[in-house]
Structure 1
Amino acid sequence: MLVEPAQKVSASQADQGFDLIGDVHGCGDLLECLLERMGYRRQDGVYTHDSRRAIFLGDLIDRGPHVQKALDIVRRMVDAGTALVVMGNHEAHALKQCLREGGRDFTLPRVGGRSERVMHETLKQFERAPGLWASYLEWFLEMPLCLEFEHFRVAHACWDEALLRPFLAERPDGRIDRRFLLAASEAGSPEHRVLDRTTRGTQLRLPNGQMIRSLDGARRGLFRTHFWARSPQTYGDVVFQPDPLPPEFEDRPLRDDERRRLVHYDSSQRPLFVGHYWCEGIPSLATPNIACLDYSAVRGGRLVAYRFDGESVLDAGQFCWVDA
């Protein structure tokens, strides 16, 4: 089992059940409701369960009304050993935006454009507490990019074995550092590929400069793709996001170079839990061994967990959620 040492795992805990929780995005009140629904109780300021631990799939920050509350709940749990957490693309984005030139320390960023829209709520809520924000940034840097257990795996957006196996051989705890973060700012670098793929997944660019208007109001020339189609033929075979493709592209054949950019997580591999993809409706399984737990809580959807007890074939009856 590959786990960051700061996220405590004892031998007696190894056989406990795990509750994997999707993107919180600053919905601190919803998180409290979900934990309490699953039987967690606050003791000495920490949510704990007699026989289970939580695993948070990243994207704790941005967009929601109670970012500080969400971070406080999760950090207390991680520090006490009642939870684990992996880095999401929003934590990675905050680290990049807030790391001073030279990589020595963190500061409130000067952001603009889409970054300003994305981080607006977080920065507003920490405006009068820059020191507290800096301490959370240091904590983000301690988050592993992924977790690998004997019976399951966890990543925010994608498990790309070809990229993660060499990364984990060099960094068995799954953590990055300032040097890695600085190197990841260069598009195409090995560090950028690992960080981007694990926290943002795979994407394809629409042809002819076509744009999508996404749910967050941004215009995008890329669409998110899933990673379990065995022999995808069209864009519609791999799109995985709530933003619909322009109808004329749904049946557009994938080019060979586009197929090569995709990732395949085979059905024979151990169960994998991800967030990131803004699913909608009643929680359901992507495949018998892949569960996406991001159900757009911050957009009026659901905050979703999967209660994992070691099963090799996932069961949709194990989802638990609270409506936003």
Structure 2
Amino acid sequence: MNLDPSRGYDLIGDVHGCALSLERLLDLLGYCKRGDVWQHPQRMALFLGDIIDRGPRIREALHLVHAMVEAGQALCIMGNHEYNALGWSTLAPPGSGRQFVREHTPRHARLIKETLDQFEGHPADWHDFLRWFYELPLFIDTGHFRMVHACWDADTVEALRTRYGDGRIDEAFLQAAADPRSFSSQVFDRLLRGTDLPLPGGMTLTGSDGFTRSVFRTKFWADDPQTYGDVVFQPDALPEQVASQPLSRAHKSRLLSYGAEEPLLFIGHYWRRGRPAPIRPNLACLDYSAVMYGKLVAYRLDQEHRLDPDKFVWVEVERPEDPQ
């Protein structure tokens, strides 16, 4: 995708309905609201997806981001939560064994509940945003820098690019994801959710979010990892007896890598904590758990080819936002 090289870009992590915090961050970054649109005379906002779900002002956050995109003041890529909303709302193709692309299980219902509740009195609005989600690319690659919600898998990106050159998919591609063996399902799973491994010995863990899992999120850039602790990348650490176990050959073969000489890469998704900083000189995660009273984080990108730790900007989300 060709973006104006003379502009600066402010990449912003997962908003999750924290609209007031987003306004504070944009104000801190020097954006001003003119009419319904936040804008900057020299810069453009780039959102890493997951605008919806969990937070108290989801509808307001969507309107804010959508208005900026429509006015040419921002771009936004798709996060797994926007994909989840499309799948929840889209009938599965006949013969798939499902009623919807994303099955209406109690767990899935819990994840989307806040969004559906906040749009309950605004069905036309919700319908319009679902249509807009199809306009959100699954990745952006400018040559200078890249954006993807969870994981840059070069083979998957290239295979998708041959069918959808701009990274924007359609309803047929979404419906095909009802089959977990399909290319569509693999694309969504890898780019929007990332890589994972099963916990050794068939064990399960209950995370801080209350969900019990048999898999854990992994780094897709780890260089020559030896143990499970070397590849874990999620808010909840693995128990020491698991973290210290050597990676099995089969599990090690499933890991990806992102080379140190690759273009700058920005991701969200992973619920980081602490002071925002690069993961590597060419890799930054900008999700710092805003909706869990963490930080809403941006990176101010100009012409640099290596990340500058001083160019992270954030606002603290110290208390719940008042609901709409």
Q: Percent of aligned pairs with the same residue?
A: 48
1:257-315 residue CA offsets vs partner (Å, 9 max, x unmatched): 21222110100100000000000011011100000000000001000000001211101
Please, which of 45, 55, 58 is the counterpart of residue 64 of structure 1? 55
**Poorly superposed stretches of 4+, deviation over 3 Å:** 109-112
Partner SS, residue 280 of structure 2: coil
Out of 35, 42, 47, the position equivalent to 1:51 is: 42
| Whole-angstrom CA distance in 1 between matches of 2:252 and 2:182 | 21
Once the two structures are superposed, the pairs formed by residues 68-147 of structure 1 within 5 Å of their partners are: 68-102=59-93, 111-147=104-140
The alignment status of 1:280 with 2:273, answered yes or no, reads yes
Q: Secondary structure at the match of 1:230?
A: coil
What SS class does the counterpart of residue 188 from structure 2 fall into? helix
* Contact 1:23/1:60, CA 8 A, preserved across alignment: yes
Match of 1:166 in 2: 159
Which of 240, 265, 282 matches 2:258? 265
Contact 1:212 1:246 in 2 (8 A): no
Shift of 1:101: 3.9
Q: Return 223-232 or 268-277, whichever deviates more.
A: 223-232
Distance in 2 (CA, whole Å) between partners of 1:101 and 1:169 is 24
One-letter code aligned to 1:78: V
Could you list the runs of 5+ residues in structure 2 that have no partner in the other structure? Answer: 95-99, 318-324
**Map of 1:1-324 to 2, 5 A cutoff?**
2=1, 13-102=4-93, 111-324=104-317
| Residues 7-65 of structure 1 deviation map (CA, whole Å, 9 limit, x = unaligned) | xx5xxx43201000000000011000000000000112100001000000000000000
SS of residue in 2 equivalent to 1:142: coil
CA distance in 2, matches of 1:257, 1:133: 43
Distance in 1 separating the partners of 2:219 and 2:117: 33
Q: Distance in 2 between matches of 1:120 and 1:72?
A: 19
Per-residue deviation at 1:110?
A: 8.2
RMSD over aligned Cα, in angstroms? 1.5
Q: Matches of 2:248 and 2:161 in 1, distance apart? A: 31
Contact 1:213–1:243 under 8 Å retained in 2: no
State the shift of 1:255 in Å. 1.5
Of the structure 1 ranges 46-55 and 209-218, higher mean CA displacement relative to structure 2 is found in 209-218
TM-score, normalization by structure 2: 0.93
Q: Which moved more, 1:166-175 or 1:55-64?
A: 166-175
Q: Shift of residue 100 of structure 1?
A: 2.6
